[in-house]
Amino acid sequence: MGSLKKNGGATLSKIATSDQHGENSEYFDGWKAYDKDPFHLSRNPHGIIQMGLAENQLCIDLIKDWIKENPKASICTPEGIHQFDDIANFQDYHGLKEFRQAIAHFMGKARGGRVKFDPERIVMSGGATGANETIMFCLADRDDVFLVPSPYYAAFDRDLRWRTGVEIIPVQCSSSNNFKLTVEAVEWAYQKAQESNKKVKGLILTNPSNPLGTMLDKDTLKNLVRFVTSKNIHLVVDEIYAATVFTGGNFVSVAEVVNDLDRFEVNVDLIHIVYSLSKDMGLPGFRVGIVYSYNDLVVSCARKMSSFGLVSTQTQLMLASMLSDDRFVDNFLKESSRRLGIRHGVFTLGLKKVGITCLSSDAGLFVWMDLRHLLRDRNSFESEIELWRIIINVVKLNVSPGSSFNCTEPGWFRVCFANMDDDTLHVALGRIQDFVSKNNNKISEKAMDNNDQVIQNNNAKKQKWRQSNLRLSFRRLYEDGLSSPGIMSPHSPLLRA
């Protein structure tokens, strides 16, 4: 894209104007469409429902209740105003001591109390976005490579690459084994990178996975730790969904694995964790990101860099008090898991009623929805984007296509279910069910008129015929919908692929 001249010839930087930010993708285009026509139950009931934002709003009432009961935790209340001078003036690369202690304590609780974290290794950053970029700056130079299992978080291209110049090479995973990551797949990607004369600096994992909602088991994690140790490359584990597990299973942190392995099996200087309070606590607006490293040099370097993304001391003070309240934290984690499980169950059951399945998952604020059977061409990413545009423009739901997560198979979509109230969720489910059911009914009627004998004698052919016509029906609905008033053109820059 190069540089851009404007405002009397002032030249912007190549970094600022490059397309490496990744904003020109369907993941962000869906957000833009929602921003232009946001759904509201009463003010705009026909607007687009935001299901592309992985936000946890299911327990915000518990946090608000705690704030009301603990006015001393804020410098903006009569009870806490006496702390104003110190907190307003203090800022340090290390952060408030009580804040780092509380974060370390909470990280242990969020992992079931099976591991402890050292407050002296806690480094602040502006959300997980800032934490991921910080760790890249610490570990890699421009054009160095990190391996990342796919599908992976759509904004990783921005977080990891945009300003650092680091390159991402996907480790391909597929639906044939439910997208399970294997050491063999990592080894293959590593060897391919080596053959291309790429300098591989490390492996990045999201555990629990975004967008899959799956968790890595302990044996797989151990083998991956052994792998990076044998290759002398770094392992960065993004654990920002650690406390969103809703199945009753145990999330295994890489910190547990580090403790379990023999010192000859793991080089702890290569192990780093990214964390935040955006997902587990539902506080993305507070911009609390954490780099936790077992490497003293990385901790020191990251702390210097944290001056570009420190957490305000006002935020630190309040969270230090909240996260030190064991009674509150224990109840919050338990209730959050319970509510996420209920919401996940309601949503997936609603999808099953119209024949839509999702990848089996244990955690996260989303599902990995399988719509491959609805594609006009099952092997075409163009068909995936075509269906995505229907869902945005006709069904009025912002969901994210799998291609924006670097998925190698067309037809998968990430759908977020925890960022809305119950009423909005039911509206969203109703839209999906109506959309699919109406098309199924049309196909059934046509099948009865034209293919009675074929249907009676050959169920397999019937199913294939139904799916084929369903895809055509979606195609016609898309074309009809785009010609209707108020529906965006497929050539709109907002929806351009």
Q: How far apart are CA 100 and CA 103, in angstroms?
A: 5
Q: Write the CA distances from 152 to 102, 404, 408, integer angstroms.
A: 30, 9, 11
User: For residue 416, what are the β-bridge partners?
Assistant: 366
- Written as six digits, the tokens of 311 are 């957490």
72 is a catalytic site residue: no
| Identified catalytic residue from 34, 152, 153, 478 | 153
Q: Are 128 and 289 in contact (CB under 8 A)?
A: yes
Task: Quote the CA–CA distance of 118 and 440 in Å, as a whole number.
Answer: 57
DSSP 8-state code for residue 249: P
Catalytic residue among 122, 135, 204, 240: 240
Joined together, the tokens standing for residue 163 give 């300003």
> Strands 271-276 and 288-293, how do they pair?
antiparallel
- Which residue do the tokens 């004698």 mark? 457
* Block residue for tokens 């001393």: 72
Q: Alpha-carbon distance 73 to 75, whole Å?
A: 7
**Catalytic status, residue 279:** yes
Catalytic residue selected from 29, 159, 238, 370: 238
Cis peptide upstream of residue 208 (ω within 30 degrees of 0) = yes
Q: Count Cα neighbours of 187 within 13 Å in the Cβ-side half-sphere.
A: 10
Based on the residue annotation, tell me whether 385 is a catalytic residue of this protein: no
Choice among 27, 103, 222, 279 that is catalytic: 279
Q: Would you call 49 a catalytic residue per the annotation?
A: no
Decide: 333 and 110 in contact? Cβ < 8 Å.
yes
Rounded to whole angstroms, how far apart are CA atoms 367 and 384? 17
CB 159, CB 137: distance < 8 Å? no
Active-site residue set: 153, 238, 240, 279
